[in-house]
């Protein structure tokens, strides 16, 4: 009897492992035989580069600048070595010089965000000078034949909004909509591409699960609620803006980072369970919500939600895909840290805690193609202070895009992250994502050698 039960259990285990391995393969290409120089892009393909206000502008007083001053319950500073964003790249004053740098790359699109805390320093005050500033920047871009792509929320919001509970509270969504409507009214005659919210999944998981981002909480159920509210906020903003003048003519999308979570041991059921649930929360729940209007989180003991919003269907004109890499998760028996990240031997690490994985961009494109809307790669790039991996990264990831195009995926554009080095959130200024290196003492920008690979493909 015991023998029979044992063989059923083992049989079941093997069946599940085989099923998971078949259903979620970790694609690996043989890069030694791939000719990454053989890439082709349609003539109308959108080439651009991207930044976000808090990371480049300087002097932002918002939820992040507050967080930068604090530390974790362990006493560790919130930001590596207690760094603060401060003047950043002084893009606020140097945007004309930066536009000339964009032009030199040969790209004709620029994705940037407006800083909500500067535009609306108090709940009932809109700063006309700040609104004029962004208008001048948009005009300067257009005069230089660069199409502006405007993000309304890129991780930061005013301190007063934070005090009201930010996106923890459903009631606050209306406040965000009013801000978006105001910005749209100002610029919609000149800006034809709009991104509502940048990476709701990152805001929810880093802010409320890992505690690496503000408000630094660790509450998985709240994290799921915040993600729901951010997604609802996107849907409501989309429909509100579509009703306004120019709304029907412009393109409005949501920007989502895809990061595949893989089991470290492909024969270990617990590694599969962990990676599967993290994927479910981080990637699949958002795609499902946009596809069906149903937001469902099912992680027993950690987060459990069912929510329906039929307006989510048809709430994007394009899918803004941010992609960097994947992560391998290894389960361990520790209530404090149930899993750890691992990096396969032989994979090339970037300066961020992940590896170069061009195949992943192809997989990400494939996974979001179920939404049947044009895909714009709104971010992709590498942190590489030594500049000895940038060229390889660019070639492999753009090869993946070219292959996806060849295979029929509807990709309209690609934005390199980032135009220049900038304040990389919890990692401070240590991460060097820029096509241009920034010397923060002199504010001098210098093109990196590795960036030439991007310029060659764009111009080629």
CB of 290 to ligand BGC, least distance (A): 18
For ligand BGC, the binding residue among 186, 359, 379, 421 (CB under 6 A) is: 379
148 vs 381, beta carbon nearer ligand BGC: 381
CA–CA distances in Å: residue 321 to residues 4, 252, 365, 380, 417:
49, 13, 8, 9, 12
CB of 154 to ligand BGC, least distance (A): 6
CA atoms within 13 Å, Cβ hemisphere of 317: 16
| Contact call for residue 60 and ligand BGC (CB under 6 A) | no
3-state class (DSSP) for residue 351: coil
CB of 424 to ligand BGC, least distance (A): 5
Return the structure tokens found at 50. Answer: 């991207």
Question: Which run of H or of E encompasses 190?
Answer: none
400 vs 405, beta carbon nearer ligand BGC: 400
For ligand BGC, the binding residue among 272, 417, 429, 454 (CB under 6 A) is: 417
Distance CA 199, CA 423 (A): 17
| Contact call for residue 90 and ligand BGC (CB under 6 A) | no
Q: Using the Cα atoms of residue 228, residue 231, residue 235 and residue 236 in order, give the sign of their dihedral.
A: positive
- Please report, as residue ranges, which positions from 132 to 191 form the binding site for ligand BGC (by CB under 6 A): none
Beta strands in 247-356 (DSSP E): 251-258, 261-263, 294-299, 303-308, 318-323, 327-331, 339-342
Distance CA 382, CA 77 (A): 25
| Contact call for residue 49 and ligand BGC (CB under 6 A) | no
CB of 2 to ligand BGC, least distance (A): 51
188 vs 422, beta carbon nearer ligand BGC: 422
CB of 317 to ligand BGC, least distance (A): 20
CA angle 273, 275, 278 (to 5 degrees): 105
CA–CA distances in Å: residue 110 to residues 242, 266, 267, 337:
22, 41, 44, 40
| Contact call for residue 68 and ligand BGC (CB under 6 A) | no
| Contact call for residue 438 and ligand BGC (CB under 6 A) | no
| Contact call for residue 424 and ligand BGC (CB under 6 A) | yes
| Contact call for residue 322 and ligand BGC (CB under 6 A) | yes
Binding mask 257-296 for ligand BGC (x = CB under 6 A): x---------------------------------------
For ligand BGC, the binding residue among 52, 141, 197, 401 (CB under 6 A) is: 52
3-state class percentages of the chain: helix first, strand second, coil last, to nearest 5:
45, 20, 35
CB of 55 to ligand BGC, least distance (A): 6
Residue 226 near residue 217, CB atoms below 8 Å: no
3-state class (DSSP) for residue 199: coil
- The β-bridge partners of 254 are 319
- Please report, as residue ranges, which positions from 190 to 229 form the binding site for ligand BGC (by CB under 6 A): 198-199, 202
Q: Which residues bind ligand BGC (CB under 6 A)?
A: 52, 55, 198-199, 202, 257, 322, 379, 417, 424, 433
């Amino acid at each position: 009897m015991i023998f029979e039960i044992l063989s059923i259990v083992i049989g079941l285990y093997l069946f599940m492992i085989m099923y998971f391995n078949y259903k979620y393969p970790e694609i690996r290409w043989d890069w030694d035989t791939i000719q990454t120089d053989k890439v082709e892009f349609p003539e109308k393909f959108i080439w651009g580069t991207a930044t976000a206000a808090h990371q480049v502008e300087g002097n932002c007083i918002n939820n992040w600048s507050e967080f930068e001053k604090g530390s974790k319950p362990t006493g560790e500073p919130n930001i590596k070595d207690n760094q603060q964003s401060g003047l950043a790249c002084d893009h606020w004053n140097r945007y004309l010089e930066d536009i000339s740098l964009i032009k030199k790359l040969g790209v004709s699109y620029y994705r940037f965000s407006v800083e909500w805390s500067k535009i609306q320093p108090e709940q009932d005050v809109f700063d006309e000078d700040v609104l004029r500033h962004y208008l001048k920047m948009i005009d300067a871009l257009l005069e230089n034949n660069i199409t502006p792509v405007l993000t309304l929320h890129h991780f930061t919001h005013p301190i007063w909004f934070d005090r009201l509970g930010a996106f923890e509270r459903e009631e606050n969504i209306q406040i965000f909509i009013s801000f978006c409507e105001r910005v749209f009214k100002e610029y919609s005659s000149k800006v034809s591409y709009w991104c509502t919210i940048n990476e709701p999944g990152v805001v929810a998981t880093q802010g409320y699960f890992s505690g690496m981002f503000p408000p630094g909480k660790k509450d998985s159920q709240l994290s799921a609620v915040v993600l729901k509210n951010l997604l609802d906020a996107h849907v409501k903003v989309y429909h509100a803006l579509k009703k306004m003048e120019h709304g029907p003519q412009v393109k409005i999308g949501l920007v989502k980072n895809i990061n595949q979570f893989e089991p470290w041991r492909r024969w270990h059921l617990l590694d599969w369970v962990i990676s599967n649930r993290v994927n479910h929360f981080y990637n699949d729940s958002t795609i499902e919500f946009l596809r069906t209007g149903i937001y469902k989180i099912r992680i027993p003991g950690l987060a459990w939600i069912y929510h329906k919003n039929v307006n989510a269907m048809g709430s994007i004109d394009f899918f803004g895909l941010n992609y960097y890499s994947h992560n391998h998760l290894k389960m361990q028996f520790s209530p404090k840290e149930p899993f750890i990240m691992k990096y396969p031997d032989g994979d090339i690490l970037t300066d961020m805690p992940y590896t170069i994985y061009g195949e992943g961009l192809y997989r990400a494109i494939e996974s979001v193609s179920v939404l049947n809307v044009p895909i714009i790669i709104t971010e992709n790039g590498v942190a590489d202070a030594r500049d000895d991996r940038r060229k390889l990264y660019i070639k492999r990831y753009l090869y993946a895009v070219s292959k996806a195009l060849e295979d029929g995926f509807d990709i309209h554009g690609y934005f390199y992250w980032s135009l220049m080095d900038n304040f990389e959130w919890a990692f401070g200024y240590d991460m060097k994502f820029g096509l241009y290196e920034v010397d923060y003492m002199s504010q001098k920008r210098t093109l990196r050698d590795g960036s030439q690979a991007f310029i060659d493909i764009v111009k080629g």
